Amino acid sequence: MQIQREGSVSFGEARLAVWEDGIPREWDAKVIWERKFKREVFKRIIQTLNRIGWTVGEQTHIFTGNNSRHCVKGDLQADLKICGRSIELEFFQAVNTPDRADHSGRYQSDKEKHMPYLARLEMQRTRTRIRDYLCNVFTGYTFKASDRKCGLGGLNNIEWINADYVSKRRFGPPDIPAADYNSVSGDKKTIQHGSKVWTTDRKGRWYQGTAFVNINNMWWVAYGKYGYTNKACFELFVDRPADIRTKKNERARRQRLEDMIARAVAGMNYQRAEVLRKVLFPEPEPLFMILNVKDGVYFRPNYSGYTSDTIRAGKYTRAELKPYLGDADEKDDLKAVPISQAA
């Protein structure tokens, strides 16, 4: 037999919330309403938690009154509290808390992201069981789903992208197919909406995803069930890379090695600097710095930025001088300086 109550259930970041309207303004009526709300809803949530294996006990953290409970199941914990017309069940764990290990991880940011996989599944199972029970036992209870959340308990990546197409932030759905100049991949092929593409993560590792038109030359790339990223067309590749085990991180590698060489030289660890130089420049060939004669500064590695410190200046082969100097040693305000002349 269903009970006549109206309210909403919603999911948030590692939490479940129950909200009801219609609380009386008159004090005595309000007290009676809150007692009934606690008896009919709050206690049913406790009963459901007990049925699915949770241990519900007294709260000993901050809010220790009769309106709060501490819930435990394995490594997963939760604080259950009722206040006026609302009930909140907030989950947390102490296994992986890199930022806030205090208070058993209650104040760790991005709780769902940091939860171990099995704990996250148990949290989602618990929330779903409570939601389904409340929406079945009370006639007027509804579930208020998150409009744009992508992840466990929310939208998958394809649903999120489709929701983005009709969201208020856009001036309308994108043009499909994209214009020719916005769909040329990094390997000079044409990217099709909904086709498989290859791209790299921030560390240069290759992975495959599905490309969806976004805006201009930007494309959504969906991977797995919930993962998505936003990439320019020239960062996408239609054909499978020749060696997907080799990272595409040439610029980052060059910057890292040159910085390590500079630190070794500055610390007078010349043996380490020589080993690193052979890693970066395996062929014995002359190396140069690019000097801006007018300003008296050198190019840093990857032609990116300037420095007056010859140790931290970028080192370039003769072939790498060509974009700025061609085949000459000096052009306009730029000059190639052999590293042997660095003082």
* pLDDT value of position 268: 94
pLDDT in the model for residue 270? 93
pLDDT in tens, 216-257: 899 999 999 989 999 999 999 999 999 999 999 999 999 999
Render pLDDT for 271-313 as a digit per residue (tens, 0 to 9). Answer: 999 999 999 999 889 999 999 999 999 999 999 999 999 999 9
Q: Is the pLDDT of residue 70 over 90?
A: yes
Contacts of 328 (CB under 8 A, 6+ apart): none
Distance between CA atoms of 82 and 203, rounded to whole angstroms? 45
pLDDT, position 343: 57
Tell whether the model's pLDDT for residue 112 goes beyond 80: yes
Tell me which DSSP letter residue 201 carries.
Answer: -
Output phi, psi for 341, to 5 deg. Answer: -95, 0
Tell me what pLDDT residue 62 has: 78
Extents of the domains making up the chain? 3-144, 157-235, 250-341
> With bands split at pLDDT 50, 70 and 90, how would you rate the model's confidence at 155?
confident
Residue 28 clears pLDDT 90, i.e. is over it = yes
pLDDT score at 30: 93
Q: With 0-12 CB in 10 A as exposed, 13-18 as middle and 19+ as buried, what is 154?
A: middle
What's at 15, amino acid-wise? Answer: R
Confidence of residue 147 (pLDDT cuts 50, 70, 90): low
pLDDT of residue 318: 93
Tens digits of per-residue pLDDT, 39-48? 999 999 999 9
pLDDT at position 153 is 67
Please state, in angstroms and as integers, the Cα–Cα distance from residue 173 to each residue in 55, 166, 215, 291, following that order: 49, 6, 9, 49
Stretch 54-76: mean pLDDT, rounded? 91
Average pLDDT, the chain: 91
pLDDT at position 152 over 80? no
How confident is the model over 180-208, as pLDDT tens digits? 889 999 999 999 999 999 999 988 999 99
Dihedral in degrees, nearest 10, Cα atoms 10, 12, 14, 15: -40
CA–CA separation, 214 and 224 (whole Å): 19
Q: Lowest-pLDDT range, 1-15, 147-161, 201-215? A: 147-161
Kindly calculate the radius of gyration of the chain based on its CA atoms and give it in whole angstroms: 30
Q: How many CB atoms lie within 10 A of CB 5?
A: 17
Residue 148 has pLDDT above 70, yes or no: no
Q: What share of the chain is helix, strand, coil (3-state, %, to 5)?
A: 30, 30, 40
Rounded CA-CA distance 80/191 in Å is: 50
How far is Cα 203 from Cα 136, in angstroms, rounded to an integer?
Answer: 48
Determine the Cα angle at 299 with ends 294 and 302, to 5°. 155
- Residue 60: strand, helix, or coil: coil
Q: Is residue 32 scored above 80 in pLDDT? A: yes
Residue type, position 300, single letter: R
Token pair for 297: 């500064």
pLDDT, position 96: 93
CA gap 197, 208 in Å, rounded: 6
Beta strands at 3-12 and 138-144: parallel, antiparallel or unpaired: parallel
Structure tokens at 270: 């010349």
Q: What is the percent of the chain with per-residue pLDDT over 90, rounded to a whole number? A: 76
